[in-house]
Amino acid sequence: MEIAATSTVTLSPPQSRQFSHTFSRSLRSLPSLRFNLSFQSTSLRVSATSSMSAFAAEKLSPETFLDKKESGILHFVKYHGLGNDFILVDNRDSSEPKVTQEQAVKLCDRNFGVGADGVIFAMPGTNGADYTMRIFNSDGSEPEMCGNGVRCFARFIAEIENLQGKHSFTMHTGAGLIVPQIQDDGQVKVDMGEPILRAEDVPTRLVGNRGESVVAAELVVDGVSWIVTCVSMGNPHCITFGTKDGQDLRVDELKLSEIGPKFEHHEMFPARTNTEFVEVLSRSHLKMRVWERGAGATLACGTGACALVVAAVLEGRTDRKCTVDLPGGPLEIEWKEEDNHIYMTGPADLVFYGSALL
């Protein structure tokens, strides 16, 4: 049977805000579900209710839910791409985001907010594109773009525009024009454009050692010499397959929370950097963990998966078409020689519809 639930959380001043979300799940043997929970202190009051009669979840859809217009309330839809999760906001009626960067930080908080790696805004198209995508990270910073976010954005647009079957459209991002294509099986294939390899355009202060590119160069991090390749997919990436002593990475053994921030804030990266730690399984199979600039450890990073395939090819480790295993699942990445473009294919899934009192 299908059960729908609602929950409400209220934070008292000085952090006064409220959010609610709806979700549904199939259960075989629960004739009724209803509970009430309350907890109160000087700073926090929490209440929750759940009832089969609260919503007809199967009747909810983004286009009808987001049509609600209530002052001070943000209606959103949450999606994830391999566990890299985002709050999607229908911002097509304005070129200014409906929430501030400070509000985005609160919304992304996994204990006191909705919980997400970032907030994505679907905005009017600019420079001839069909749509514009902007994103605020969970720390309030604004990256140029996000690969997993692009796939979630594409599925979100398909829902609110009621697009059926195979469709493609153009998106303007801080990294340039991106073209996602929704496949018949629901997966999203994205033309991510050409990689940027010129060191000062990545940007990195490391000196180019292959023309103007940084490929398999030495970078000292906290006293350890790592071998890195620097690539931009419109946002900066530092990719490493191991240290100078020749030890290949075993990414599951990596203490990511310790080493990740040291790469991100290294003086060689003036705009900070995303960092991919990569284990080579075969010429067509890679495994990675990522420390994202502004978000920390995440379950997936689409631009990172693209960047590491470029790095692997440049270092002679793999072919141009690879499966990349991320903590949240696999992506298919291809760097085509004929047009120098990188193509990423992977899923994007709806999680729930929600409302937040800003």
Q: What is the mean pLDDT of the chain?
A: 84
Q: Which of 108, 146, 152, 322 is catalytic?
A: 146
Same domain, 101 and 145: yes
pLDDT tens readout for residues 134-166 = 999 999 999 998 999 999 999 999 999 988 888
> Do 316 and 208 share a structural domain?
yes
Are both 84 and 139 inside the same structural domain? yes
pTM of the entire structure?
Answer: 0.79
In terms of domains, do 17 and 113 share one?
no
24 alpha-carbon distance from chain centroid: 23
Q: Clarify whether residues 176 and 127 are in a common domain.
A: yes
CB atoms within 10 A of CB 182: 22
Please say if 146 is a catalytic residue.
Answer: yes
Residues 211 and 335 in one domain: yes
Does residue 222 sit in the same domain as residue 335? yes
End-to-end CA distance of the chain: 34
Q: Residue 43: pLDDT band by 50, 70, 90 thresholds?
A: very low
Active site residue 306: no
Model confidence at 2: pLDDT above 90: no
Q: Say which of 108, 152, 230, 301 is annotated catalytic.
A: 301
Most confident of 37-41, 56-60, 63-67, 202-206: 202-206
Contact present, 317 and 285 (Cβ < 8 Å): no
The answer to whether 59 and 336 are in contact (CB under 8 A) is no
- pLDDT tens digit string along 174-233? 999 999 999 999 899 999 999 999 999 999 999 999 999 999 999 999 999 999 999 999
Do 253 and 208 belong together in one domain? Answer: yes
What local confidence, expressed as pLDDT, does residue 52 receive? 27
What letter represents residue 89's amino acid? Answer: V
Q: Do both 350 and 335 map to the same domain?
A: no
**Does one domain contain both 263 and 215?**
yes
Q: How far apart are CA 163 and CA 174, in angstroms?
A: 25
List of E strands, 12-149: 17-26, 35-40, 44-50, 73-81, 84-90, 118-124, 131-137
| 112 has pLDDT over 60 | yes
* CATH number of the domain encompassing residue 254: 3.10.310.10
- Structure confidence at residue 60 as a pLDDT band (50, 70, 90): low
pLDDT band at 55 (very low <50, low <70, confident <90, very high): very low
Q: What is the mean pLDDT of residues 7-18?
A: 37
Question: What pLDDT is attached to residue 286?
Answer: 98
pLDDT value, residue 87? 97
User: Are 304 and 209 found together in one domain?
Assistant: yes
Instruction: Mark which of 9, 25, 60 sits at the end of a domain.
Output: 60
Domain containing residue 224: 199-340
The number of domains in the chain is 3
- Residues whose CB falls within 8 Å of the CB of residue 53, separated by 6 or more in sequence, listed in order: none
Average pLDDT over residues 2-28: 36
At 145, give phi and psi (nearest 5°). -170, 180
The yes-or-no verdict on residue 349 having pLDDT over 70 is yes
- Strand pairing report for 176-182 and 188-191: antiparallel
